[in-house]
Amino acid sequence: MSPHSNAFSVDVEDYFQVCGFEPWIGPEQWSSFTPRVEANTERLLGLLDEAGVQGTFFTLGWVAERFPQLVRRIVAQGHELASHGYSHVRVDRQDAAHFRQDVLRTKHLLEDVGGVPVVGYRASTYSIHAQTLWALPILKETGHHYSSSIYPIAHDLYGMPEAPRFAHKPHPQGVVEIPPATVVWGGRRFPCGGGGWFRLLPYGVSRWALQRVNGHDQQSVVFYCHPWEVDPQQPRVAGVGWRSRFRHYLNLHRTEPRLKALLQDFSWDRMDRVFAQEIAHG
């Protein structure tokens, strides 16, 4: 068990809402799919409860509107309720006015449903980067205290490889940014904070990388997953590109047992508690 307390987070969205499927499934089509997010999030809640872990649930407003009881269960079990925006629109596809409207709408909705303050935000597909740092002051103005939206790596869909690996303030008027975990090996950065990388690589690699951040860097890590990642029986979306299909469906059957091991091998807590000092000073 690592002596460091690390942040376990969940991006609460359904399988048909992921960025990789956007070219084939638009928000106007979501109502034609049978939702699986409630049952899958319940599975994650059960895993966390079994391990005695509380985490942070970055929740879409779209989901909260349709499954208010799920939001209340998240809160009732002691987890932090945070914002993932309303309908999974990337920040770099919005202007400042639309972004402000989106985060305010989602914050008010989540707070009304959950009955608790919402101070954390995670952008769809980690879409805050060098060209969208203007979003961080808006988050502060709208009552958010931190963001977990910049992935400090190079990637074809997201990333800001020049960004610091740990909590920092990318914009002087903005909120503090707390990025997902990365590890440095051989002078290069590699993602190790969850998602597809957690499913692609053997669990031992992820465990080693997170232990290195805790031990060598002496830093807490941010880990993330999605409810659909514990659902190997989810419907296969027809006609999607090979890369999106590979990324989405790879090793879904291995996610749940790996999460069980992860929850036992490390110490976990909510984002707002693990990084309370950084948030307070931000």
Structural domain range at position 230: 5-281
Output the pLDDT for position 1: 46
E-assigned strands of the chain?
5-12, 56-59, 80-83, 120-121, 146-147, 176-177, 182-185, 188-191, 222-225, 267-269
Q: What is the pLDDT of residue 237?
A: 86
Q: Where are the alpha helices (DSSP H) in 117-202?
A: 135-141, 196-200
**DSSP 8-state secondary structure symbol assigned to residue 260:** H
pLDDT in tens, 122-153: 999 999 999 999 999 999 999 999 999 999 98
Q: What is the DSSP letter of 125?
A: G
Q: What pLDDT shows up at residue 156?
A: 66
Position 282 scores a pLDDT of: 75
Sign of the Cα torsion 279, 272, 150, 261 reads positive
User: Which residues of the chain register pLDDT less than 70?
Assistant: 1-3, 156-157
pLDDT given at position 245: 80
Phi/psi at 168 (5° precision): -160, 175
What is the pTM assigned to this prediction? 0.96
**Residue 253 belongs to domain with CATH number:** 3.20.20.370
Which strand (E) or helix (H) includes residue 242?
A: helix 242-249
Q: State how many domains the chain has.
A: 1
In the 8-state DSSP scheme, what is residue 180?
P
Q: Could you tell me if 153 and 181 are in contact, meaning their C-beta atoms sit under 8 angstroms apart?
A: no
DSSP 8-state code for residue 187 = T
